[in-house]
Each structure stands twice: as C-alpha cells, then as structure tokens.
Amino acid sequence: MAKTDITEKVVSLAKRRGFVFQSSEIYGGLNGCWDYGPLGVEMLNNIKQAWWKEMTYRENVEGIDAAILMHPRVWEASGHVENFTDPMVDCRECKARFRYDILLEGMSEKAAKKMKEDLKKELNFDDDKIKSFIDDPDNSEKVLSTVNCPNCGRNGTFTKARSFNLMFKTYIGPVEDSSNIVFLRPETAQGIYVNFLNVKEAGRQKLPFGIAQIGKAFRNEINTKNFLFRTREFEQMEMQFFINPKDDGEWFEYWKEQRINWFVKHGIKKEKLNIHVHDKLAHYAKAAVDIEYEFPFGWGEIEGIHNRTDFDLKRHTEYSGKKLEYFDDQTKERFIPYVIETSAGASRSFMAFLINAYDEEQVAKENSDGSKSTEVRTVLHIHPSLAPVKAAVFPLVNRDGMQDIAHNITEDLRKNFRVFYDDSGAVGRRYRRQDECGTPYCITVDSETLTNDSVTVRERDSMEQVRVHKDKLTSYITEKLTV
C-alpha cells in the first residue's frame, strides 16, 4: 500500500465509520478543527483514560482540571505573549501570507542553492555565517529578494517578516477593550504551575511529585495540515513533575522511558517510534526530546519531554508576587523546584493510534457455491484497551430464540463495556464491519449455545475462535483489556 494512500484511506474510513468528521461540515468546514463522531469519541476517551490511569494512579502524581481561561498575566509570565510567535511574510502583490521558515523549506533544492550562493557572494560570508543570516527572520526581505511568490509567481515581492502571535484572543465581560483581553490557553501546563502550591498542600505532597491534566488547547496555527496532526483546537495530556534541581538528569531519563513504553504497551509498533533530541530549544527549556511517530507523510512529534528548569515557577513568582518555592524539611533547603514535563497531544496520539492500526489483508473466502477465493479485509488492529467498541454480539440465525439470548448477553456486557448488537446479513459480513472499526471480539450465539450456554468468541487479529461460557464473557473480556 502506498504510504500517501494510507492517510487518505484512514481519513475516509474515519468519516464513513464515525470516528472523525470535519467541523461544521455542512457549512463547508472550518479549517483546522475536527469533530469526533460516535466511535471517535469512545476511542479518544479510551486514550485519555489510559493516559490518566498510567500517570495518576501512582503515589506521587495528582490530577487537576484547570480553567481554559486564565489571568492574562499568566501568559506574560510564561513568555507566550512575547515569544509564542511565528515569523510571517506577505506577498505585496497577491497578499498571500507565508511562514518564513516554511517558505524557505518549500523551495526547490536548486533554487535554495542559488539563493544561498548569490547571498554569499554579495555579502562575502562563509557557510556558517550565511546559514545564520538566512535563518534570522529579520533578514527575510534581503533573503527573499530574488525568490518567487509560490502563489502568484512574482519575484521579489515579499515584505519583511513580522511576528504573528499564535494565541487566540477574546474579551472577558461585555466591554471589548485591551484591559479585558484573555487568551484561550495554548498549553495546559500553565494551569498546573499556578496551582503548584494548592496541590502540594491539598495533596500533602513532598518532592518529587507531579501534577497531571488533560484538556483543550488552542493555537492559531498558520498552516493546519495532515488531518489531526496540526489543528487549531486540540487536546493535550500533560504532566509536570516537580523535582530537586540536582536530580533533573535522572528524572528526565525516567519519564522519557515511561512515556515511550506507554505508546508501545498500547500497540504502537516500536519501529515506528523515534526519539528526536532538540538542539534548538524553546525559551523555557534546558533539554528537550520529541517522541516521534512515522506518519505516512514522515516523522512527526506526538509527545515532548522537556526539562523546563525553574523557569515557569520563577516567572510566576516574579509576576504574581507569590513565592512558588519548596522547603525540604529534611535538608532544611529552600529552593524553586525544577520541572520535567511530559506533554502529549491526545488528538495527535489518536491519529497515530489510528494510522498504526490500519491494515488491508488478503484473506481466504468461501463462495456460496463452495469454491474458495480471497478477499481484502480492512482491519483496525487497535489495542483492545483503546478500541471504541469492545465486543459485538450476533445471533447466528434469527430463529430458535438466538436473538433473545444475544440481546441478553449484550445487555449484560453493557454493564461494563461498549457493545454492539448486530443480526443483519451473513456472519462473515458482520465480522468485516466490526474489523473495520477495530472491535476486538465478536461473540456469536449458535445452535450449541442452546444446548450448553457456550458461545463462540472470534478474535479480530488472529480471526481464531474459542468457545466461552456466556456467564464468563465479562471476565474473559476484562482480562484481555487489562494492559
């Protein structure tokens, strides 16, 4: 299967089977925003639940759910007002707007080489000097002076780069003036920092301890692209782990390993994961790595692990006047903790889990005349713990009371799981419908059920069937879902 086809196929399946729809589709859609459908919301909730369990069902991590709207000073303290920007250039002729670095990346190798050589000659710079000159958005007008606009094709029409802040602004209360501006949070992390003392005291926590949160974040991204990968509204699953600064290296390694293991435990193929070490660091970080997944369009970050030092707590201390520090009653030390952050995108992880699960397999088929052939089976090998529907229940035929038994089994299983009942079409077709949306277990009531209360359980990936007593189904499935 061609790599480029996979995203298209997954996007199409996601819509057809109710995982993800375009936001406001009947109005032509809203760029960079997506809606989760009946299966999508189940799977997204399962991902968030799996993360929450992993991160907070431990002694030293507490959970919170902070408000999306926060005091505007928070974003001054965090550096987002000043630094959370992209350099943008406009074409003076056609008015198209581009991100400066993306424009450079998009140039053909030949054009980029020529531009670099011309500039080197004109400015009499060596390779290193010319690279930093080109990278600096302040030089954009000079750098782009011979470059064609990708939209209208005209030459030398670009303006100087201007900073464009990615935070969405709105107003609190009825008066729309600058004193009432609030921002939609671009990360959930700040809601954790400002609650550091509250949680420490309420949870009677001692260092090292963490605070975890799942929630929406908003960024006015210039280029939204690749389905759920870069969107304007998305969800983050973040944990900030507060430590003594002397232990930062050790905890950074610990959380990096924990987080990679989490993805692997939940079915992401190991060979599809990569650790990218940052050499260019965000304004708050001392060390940073990305956990990358190999999407069909290339490697893309799904989670960042950052050593944010004492940057955030120090800044909030400075801006709020409230001392966000820690007193160690054993060593009698007083200090501002360092923070190791694990920051995953729930929506990006969702996309990685979906693409990772997608497969088209050739399987044997028995035709109505008894002859044999093969057919393509589209299947989502989603880990059972994340699968939106855990089991489907079928009566083999719609007679002899099999429907009633199947309904009763369905109702019983629904006390614990999301279960789908289906009595229409051949059983083979019912299996295919469930394979396509990743249902790990299909339970069939057949004539043997009428004699000994056992049913067949067909496993999605191996397609093997076992007989299980109908009263044991809940424990059978529960065991399989446990990670």
Binding region for ligand GAP (CB under 6 A): 187, 189, 219, 221, 230-231, 234, 236, 238, 301-304, 341, 343-345, 347-348
CB of 50 to ligand GAP, least distance (A): 16
For ligand GAP, give the closer residue by CB, 69 or 123: 69
CB of 166 to ligand GAP, least distance (A): 9
CB of 280 to ligand GAP, least distance (A): 13
For ligand GAP, give the closer residue by CB, 40 or 440: 40
Q: How much of the chain is helix, strand and coil, in % rounded to 5? A: 40, 30, 35
Strands (E), 244-354: 273-277, 287-295, 298-309, 326-328, 333-335, 338-345
Q: Where are the alpha helices (DSSP H) in 107-167?
A: 109-123, 127-135, 140-143
CA proximity to 393, closest of 353, 449, 354, 461:
449
CB atoms within 10 A of CB 399: 8
CB of 231 to ligand GAP, least distance (A): 4
Q: Are 93 and 149 in contact (CB under 8 A)?
A: yes
CB-closest chain residue to ligand GAP? 345
For ligand GAP, give the closer residue by CB, 42 or 341: 341
For ligand GAP, give the closer residue by CB, 161 or 344: 344
Q: Are 167 and 80 in contact (CB under 8 A)?
A: yes
Six token digits for residue 155:
């030459």
For ligand GAP, give the closer residue by CB, 11 or 189: 189
Q: Which DSSP state fits 173?
A: S
For ligand GAP, give the closer residue by CB, 344 or 379: 344
Strands (E), 172-229: 181-183, 209-218
Residue type, 356: N
**Burial track 311-322 (b if 16+ CB lie within 10 A, e otherwise):** bbbebbbeeeee
CB of 17 to ligand GAP, least distance (A): 22
For ligand GAP, give the closer residue by CB, 348 or 381: 348
Query: How far is residue 253's CA from residue 61's CA, in Å, rounded to a whole number?
Result: 17
CB of 154 to ligand GAP, least distance (A): 31
CB of 433 to ligand GAP, least distance (A): 30
